[in-house]
């Protein structure tokens, strides 16, 4: 049985996708910023009729067609659309792969007769895609290279044994070679594939490299080029359709519990944990309500996750009732099997993660912070602030030297007697409008500024830090700058 390859090309994939969501009439283009200039990324048929083309500057496009309507290009959505079309094309073949940024390639060997032949298969494909509002050109040939070339030059189906006659008339640029090589071949008079196929392979390889010869031989079937679809990532989503509409929070939470059991089971099979989950509630009036939560750490415990949904579900307006629910984990992380507990058996780190999750969903995960140790002797730089959900707790490094206070604050001036000019702590001083008498002192600990940082607070030079116990009770961390003998408080011991 001869091999049959189906190439599907979407010449206006990005613009067709955008117009499906927000239709409009007249010339239309998507704009993408590259470097410092906005360029035309994709356009519709009406814009092409005005002489616009891909890659031209936006200013030139508006000069040619003042009525042009533009929107910003969304490359991520374009990629997702092509991936969805790749999955949809599985109805024609189990072997479907993405072919460039706007095409698909499918191995349909043994399939066309199920539709009545090559022409009927292409007619069925075109009818469905055009009904969905997507422009498409397709071709069927014995090789992947030939099908790709034909799809981008009018399409069609090549009968068995007539490969050279079908693609020989096409320009050499149809062989998926770079534009520089194509221009060089044209200057030599090798304009069509038939001109190139008649040349000896060795001189072509020496002059243009092995890539040109490989593409030519692949198109003619002299070298194999299999269709290798990318491994499909698992989709962590479940849904349920209800026999009767529901509206009570208890009923929605009961349905959510069933969905979570199924979803967490799927996550466990792939050794994954959820970090963000989205619950979509479909109402009878065809409106939808969304409840989304984040997790401070990867998790797949249904009971603990359900508790985080309770507040969002309580705020949902059910309308005339909810008849379908869909739950998906759209952000996941690897999570190996581990012992999990709930209630009294909940581990300390799990309870802390649940607290971070509750606070993060209310305040935002970037606003729930933790302190992390930093390798610096400067008090202000001895710690870092990091989001608790995206960092791990770290034990402070073991210090060699005097004790440091638990509470550190920006330096605050300490008032001393006018005659006190010593570098040892004063016997009496005033701080925060309170009078203190020194009982016992420990120190000093001399800290030098870090010369690689230009910190205005440390431009005065060295600091001598003292632990000062007062008769009034507070134990303070005072320092002075020997250069000017000024005293400041910067911390308090517990």
Q: Which residues of the chain have pLDDT under 70?
A: 1, 338-346, 419
According to DSSP, the residues that pair with 140 across neighbouring strands are: 6, 157
Read out DSSP for 8-40? EE-TTHHHHHHHHHS---S-EEEEEEETTEEEE
DSSP string across 84-96: HHHHHGGGT-S-E
pLDDT in tens, 169-191: 999 999 999 989 999 999 999 99
Contact 284, 320 (CB under 8 A): yes
- My answer on whether omega of the bond before 444 falls inside 30° of 0, hence cis, is yes
Tell me what pLDDT residue 382 has. 83
Q: How far apart are CA 289 and CA 281, in angstroms?
A: 5
Give me the residues paired with residue 57 across strands: 39
Residue 416 · residue 468 · CB < 8 Å: no
At 383, list the tokens: 């710690």
Task: Calculate the CA 154 to chain-centre distance.
Answer: 36
**What is the pLDDT at residue 494?**
82
- pLDDT of res. 286: 87
Buried b (16+ CB within 10 A) or exposed e, 82-109: beebbeebeebbebbbbbeebbbbbbbb
Q: What is the pLDDT of residue 158?
A: 93
Taking each helix axis as running N to C, give the angle between helix 210-220 and helix 201-208, from 0 to 180 degrees, rounded to the nearest 10. Answer: 130
**pLDDT value of residue 339:** 58
Cα dist. 28→45, 60, 270 in Å?
Answer: 8, 14, 44
Q: What pLDDT score does 490 carry? A: 93
Residues 119, 124, 128, 131, CA torsion sign: positive
Does pTM surpass 0.75?
Answer: no
Compute the distance between CA of residue 403 and CA of residue 468 in angstroms, rounded to an integer.
12
Residue 341: the pLDDT is 52
């Amino acid at each position: 049985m001869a091999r049959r390859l189906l190439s599907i090309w979407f010449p206006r994939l990005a613009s067709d996708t955008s117009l499906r969501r927000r239709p409009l009439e007249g010339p239309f283009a998507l704009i993408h910023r590259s470097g410092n200039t906005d360029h035309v990324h994709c356009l519709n048929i009406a814009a092409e009729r005005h002489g616009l083309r891909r890659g031209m500057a936006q200013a030139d496009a508006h000069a040619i067609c003042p009525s042009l309507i533009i929107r910003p290009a969304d490359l991520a959505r374009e990629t997702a659309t092509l991936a969805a079309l790749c999955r949809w094309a599985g109805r024609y073949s189990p072997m479907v792969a993405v072919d460039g940024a706007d095409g698909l390639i499918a191995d349909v060997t043994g399939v066309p007769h199920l539709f009545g032949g090559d022409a009927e298969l292409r007619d069925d494909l075109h009818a469905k895609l055009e009904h969905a509002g997507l422009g498409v050109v397709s071709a069927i040939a014995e090789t992947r290279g030939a099908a790709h070339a034909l799809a981008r030059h009018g399409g069609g189906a090549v009968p068995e044994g007539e490969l050279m006659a079908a693609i020989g008339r096409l320009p050499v640029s149809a062989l998926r070679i770079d534009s520089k090589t194509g221009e060089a071949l044209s200057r030599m008079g090798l304009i069509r594939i038939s001109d190139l196929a008649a040349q000896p392979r060795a001189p072509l390889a020496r002059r243009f490299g092995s890539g040109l010869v490989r593409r030519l031989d692949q198109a003619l079937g002299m070298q194999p080029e299999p269709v290798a679809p990318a491994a499909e990532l698992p989709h962590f989503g479940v849904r349920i359709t209800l026999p009767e509409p529901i509206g009570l929070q208890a009923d929605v939470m009961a349905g959510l519990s069933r969905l979570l059991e199924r979803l967490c089971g799927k996550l466990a099979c792939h050794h994954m944990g959820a970090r963000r989950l989205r619950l979509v509630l479909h109402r009878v009036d065809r409106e939808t309500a969304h409840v989304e939560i984040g997790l401070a750490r990867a998790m797949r415990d249904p009971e603990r996750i359900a508790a985080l949904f309770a507040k969002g579900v309580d705020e949902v307006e059910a309308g005339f009732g909810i008849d379908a629910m869909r739950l998906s984990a759209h952000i996941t992380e690897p999570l190996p099997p581990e012992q999990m507990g709930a209630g009294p058996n909940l581990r300390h780190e799990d309870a802390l993660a649940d607290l971070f999750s509750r606070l993060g969903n209310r305040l935002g995960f970037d606003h729930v912070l933790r302190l992390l140790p930093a390798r610096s002797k400067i008090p202000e730089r001895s710690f870092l602030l990091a989001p608790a959900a995206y960092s791990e707790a770290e034990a402070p490094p073991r210090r060699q030297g005097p004790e440091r206070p638990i509470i550190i604050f920006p330096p605050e001036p300490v008032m001393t007697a006018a005659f006190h000019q010593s570098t040892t702590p004063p016997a009496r001083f005033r701080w925060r409008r309170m009078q203190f008498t020194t009982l016992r002192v420990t120190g000093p600990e001399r800290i030098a500024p870090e010369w690689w940082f230009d910190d205005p607070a440390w431009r005065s030079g060295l600091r001598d830090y003292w632990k000062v116990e007062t008769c009034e009770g507070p134990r303070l961390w005072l320092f002075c700058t020997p250069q000017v003998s000024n005293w400041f408080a910067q911390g308090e011991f517990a």
